[in-house]
């Protein structure tokens, strides 16, 4: 079981650094935003299995453990001697977060961590416009890649069940249907720039204070019909 979990972690790392194959329909205009297509992700064939296995057998126990947890605030460990890079992440529901220190939330204090500060999620949801969501994701993806990020902790798609939630400005809507209609094209646009999306706060996370400890009492139907888009 542990071996499978570790192998999955290594696969994710390799996915980020493989080329993305994009397909277009021959009869589709080149300038049309493809918001309705299914994002198939990176193409991973069995050829990669042999390569992954060959890397794993060369790794020490310490190197394997290092890939399964964070080595800084927003990175997981790489294995330089085997060509496995460090995985770099960033916050980003409303734009790529400023660079922070490796061991604290303190800003790094550099002047090259540029990013666009986008409006609150409710601004996008008010448009009911999937093409705009795609453009949003594309723009954030381009800036993430320019900042050398492999994973963006975005989009934030928790259901807004109460206006008292301290982070509701990050989320799209209280409507599960609208959430889905905007989230999918956003992720497509983001990941077409070779940046992995990490949706967050979506599993009944209705408060920020003590969110790691609060007892959420919810029935399965509510969870599936409202919170899991």
Q: What angle do CA 194, 170, 164 make, to 5 degrees?
A: 160
Looking at every residue in the chain, the average pLDDT score rounds to 83
Residue 23's domain spans which residues? Answer: 2-227
Run means of pLDDT, 10 residues per run, the chain, 229 residues: 55 49 42 52 73 93 89 91 93 92 91 88 95 96 95 93 85 93 95 94 82 88 87
pLDDT confidence of residue 18: 47
| CB < 8 Å & 24+ apart, contacts of 71-80 | 72/102, 72/103, 73/100, 73/101, 73/102, 73/103, 73/104, 73/105, 74/100, 75/102, 76/9, 76/13, 78/13, 79/55
Q: What is the pLDDT of residues 8-47, one digit of tens each?
A: 565 555 554 444 444 444 444 444 455 455 555 566 677 7
Q: Which residues pair with 197 in a beta bridge?
A: 152
What the block records as the tokens of 173 is 């809507």
pLDDT confidence of residue 79: 94
What the block records as the tokens of 31 is 């300038």
How far, in Å, CA of 199 to CA of 62, rounded?
Answer: 29
Closest CA to 198 of 141, 147, 131, 116: 141
CA 163 → CA 122, 166, 167, 211, 222, distances in Å? Answer: 12, 8, 9, 16, 19
pLDDT confidence of residue 69: 85
The rounded radius of gyration (Å) of the Cα atoms in the chain is 19
pLDDT confidence of residue 24: 41
What the block records as the tokens of 4 is 């499978």
pLDDT confidence of residue 99: 93
What the block records as the tokens of 90 is 């960033």
Domain count, the chain: 1
Q: What is the pLDDT of residues 134-155, one digit of tens each?
A: 999 999 999 999 999 999 999 9
How far, in Å, CA of 94 to CA of 116, rounded?
Answer: 8
pLDDT confidence of residue 123: 94
How far, in Å, CA of 42 to CA of 14, rounded?
Answer: 10
167: domain CATH number is 3.20.20.300
């Amino acid at each position: 079981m542990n071996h499978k979990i570790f192998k999955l972690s290594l696969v994710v790392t390799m996915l980020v650094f493989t080329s993305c194959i994009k397909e277009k329909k021959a009869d589709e205009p080149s300038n049309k935003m493809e918001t309705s297509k299914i994002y198939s992700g990176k193409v991973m064939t069995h050829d990669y299995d042999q390569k992954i296995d060959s890397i794993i057998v060369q790794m020490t126990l310490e190197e394997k453990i290092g890939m399964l947890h964070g080595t800084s605030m927003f990175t997981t460990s790489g294995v330089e001697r085997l060509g496995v890079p460090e995985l770099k992440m960033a916050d980003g529901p409303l734009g790529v977060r400023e660079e922070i220190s490796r061991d604290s939330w303190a800003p790094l204090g550099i002047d090259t961590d540029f990013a666009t500060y986008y409006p609150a999620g409710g601004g996008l949801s008010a448009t009911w416009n999937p093409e705009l969501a795609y453009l949003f994701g594309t723009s954030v993806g381009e800036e993430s890649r320019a900042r050398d990020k492999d994973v963006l902790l975005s989009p934030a798609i928790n259901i807004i069940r109460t206006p008292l939630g301290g982070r509701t400005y990050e989320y799209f809507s209280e409507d599960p249907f609208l959430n889905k209609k905007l989230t999918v094209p956003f992720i497509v646009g983001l990941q077409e720039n070779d940046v992995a999306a990490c949706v967050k706060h979506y599993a009944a996370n209705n408060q920020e204070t003590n969110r790691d400890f609060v007892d959420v009492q919810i029935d399965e139907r509510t969870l599936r019909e409202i919170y899991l888009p």
